[in-house]
Chain A
Amino acid sequence: MSTDTLRTARTRRLSRRVGRRLGRSDLLFMSVISLILAAVLFATLYPLYFVLIASISDPTAVATGRVLLLPKNLSLFGYEQILADSRIWTGYRNTLVYSVVGTMLNLVVTLPAAYALSRREFRPRRPLMLFFAFTMFFSGGLIPTYLLYKDLGLLDNWLVFILPSALNVFNLIIARAFFENSLPEELFEAAMIDGVDYFRFFTTIALPLSKALISVIGLYYLVFHWNDFFTGLVFVRDYDKQPLQIVLRDILLSNQAFSGGAGGAGGSGGAYGQRYADQIKYGVIIVSTLPVIILYPFLQKYFEKGVLIGSVKG
């Protein structure tokens, strides 16, 4: 293994040296690549940066295009309005509860099942895998689901955010592939000789060795719950139970927002009111997306790992 890495390192150095000797057409090529990369980076980051500076600038300066690189005439009007709005904080609290409880349930359901499906000597695992995978491509559709939830008493019930999404088959496949490829088989053999059963092996040996996997699928589930909008839209009417995304929809998209606050400003003239409404929107985008953006750079390697673990087995 170590000689192999040594060799690739050497060839890489070699090929880079070969690369230096390349001619003018390659120079042109590299400049084109650099230009494309710069454009991609700009197109990805600037919109997010603009939202940030727009949220703390004077709305009129934003609307007339005088805020481009730096914030102008600092104004925290949007954030004041947001802080005063109880809907956002109720939504935040709900989403936090649904995400944390939901993700824990997700892990409790997904990990043991994935482990069972990863055991090679367990004959039914192939048909069972098909049984799970089929649901990725075929579903009952919206209305049968809705009527079922109605029968089960899940409509307007906070459990609807947690129970139906307790298992994601894609994450199940990732977890199974991880257990299959990353747990050395002799570990299991040795444990079996010591009289360890499946339960004990899973909890005392497999799980402690699977921290990377648990982080990956835990994060996938967490992001799913944080961004879940559909469940609240279709299955919940009671506003006190709505998650952040529904509240965001109402503020960002329906313009029914802040009838008390910015709506008052809106009363004094259409375009003028629109500016203030826009500033609240910029602020809301920041407030709702900040947790994800702050955590993201630290967690990114785990997200990426998930894709790679999953692709091992197609």
Chain B
Amino acid sequence: MSIGTTTGTDAASRRPGRTAAPPASGAERRGPVARMRRHLGRYWQLWVMLAPALIVVIVFAYIPMYGIQLAFREFDPTKGLTGGEWVGLKYFRQFFESPLFWDLMRNTIVISLSTLVLGFLAPVLLALVINQILHSRLKRFVQTVTYLPHFISIVVIVGMLQVFLSPETGLITRFLALFGLDDINYLGSTTAFVPVYVLSDIWQHTGWNSIIYLAALAGVSTHLYEAARIDGASRLQIIRHVDIPALVPTMVILMILNMGGVLATGFEKIFLMQNTLNLPVSEVIATYTYKIGILSSQFSYSTAIGLFNTVINFAFLVLANQISKRVTDTSLW
């Protein structure tokens, strides 16, 4: 097996040199058209295999991006996606000056940051705990159970929240009443909305998100543990000095990826949890874009808000990636 893989990598590294280099030098003499023809002659089948995926991405991702110019134009139903008169930053100004702007920003940031921070740490802790289980069948069982909620649909999750938190009769409502926390309507309260949202998110995704950390822990050499134990390290010290350092690179990559979603709160769950009572804290950019755009057909205004959101997210992603590249030498690109 090991012999097989070495020849495999050898062949792979030799390959480009043998197949690509001589034709390339020959093609350069005959110009780009001939080179293109040669490329297609050799690889047309790969292009055919790529075609459906390319079409899907171009049509359903890049054409809408082209339609972003709607944010700078007056919407004209006869001209569709790109039409209408150029109005520049009118709709952005309208958004920044809108009394709702700061509310939306605050709500979006509060919800996404608390999900980001707490939702980021919980899987790390869970992985460290699961990693302590020596009995492998028990470990499997714990993993199976904790991954499960990840696959339950958001509609059902919010439905469960509604029955568990319903005033007086809900399971959790009654449980919390034992601690004197009665007469709180968890579903229709401005103070309970964010905790309910974040905690249920942690309940649903912590197990699943711990997989990647468990894989990183499985890769730690047993010699390290052995050496630490012989040196008399306690289990807590081993976690602190062996396990956690092993997780840091993975944590950094995931943190960067999450930064790209600073203003990208999950639309569906917030939308489903919204009601008139919690709206002051639950109206976020994503839900507002939907209401303004789809429900009241202010297409240009809604596109502008959506673009603002996307740009901020993208900027955060790039920024986080730059910082990480400089500080930890880990980066996405």
Residues of A within 8 A of B (CB): 1, 8, 11-12, 14-16, 18-19, 22-23, 25-26, 29-30, 33, 36-37, 40-41, 43-45, 47-48, 50-51, 54, 62-65, 108-110, 112-113, 115-117, 119-123, 128, 131-132, 135, 137-148, 150-152, 163-164, 166-167, 169, 172, 184-186, 189, 197-199, 202, 223, 226-227, 229-230, 233-234, 245, 248-249, 252-253, 271, 274-275, 278, 281-282, 284-285, 288-289, 292-293, 296-297, 300, 303-304, 307-308, 311, 314
Contacts and interface: CB of A to CB of B under 8 A. Distances in A.
Contact of A186 (B4, B70, B152, B156): B4
Interface of chain B, main secondary structure: helix
Contacts of A117: 50
A166 B290 CA distance: 23
B211 A308 contact: yes
A179 to B, nearest CB: 11
Contact of B160 (A11, A45, A51, A151): A51
A307 B210 CA distance: 10
Contacts of A278: 163, 166, 169
Contacts of B151: 223, 227, 292, 296, 303
Given A15-B222, A141-B68, A202 B49 contact: yes
Contacts of A25: 234, 236
Contacts of A62: 169
B189 interface: no
Interface of B: 1-2, 4-5, 7-9, 11-12, 15-16, 19-20, 39, 43, 45-50, 52-54, 56-57, 59-68, 70, 80-81, 126, 129-130, 132-134, 142-149, 151-156, 158-160, 162-164, 166, 169, 171, 174, 203, 207, 211-212, 215, 222-223, 225-226, 229-230, 234-236, 250, 253, 260, 267-268, 271-272, 289-290, 293-294, 299, 302-303, 306-307, 309-310, 313-314, 317, 332
B229 A44 contact: no
A285 B293 contact: no
A230 B267 contact: yes
Contacts of A223: 151
Q: Which 4 A-B pairs have the closest CB atoms?
A: A140-B64, A144-B67, A141-B306, A252-B159
A44 B199 CA distance: 12
Contacts of A151: 80-81
Contacts of B142: 37, 40-41
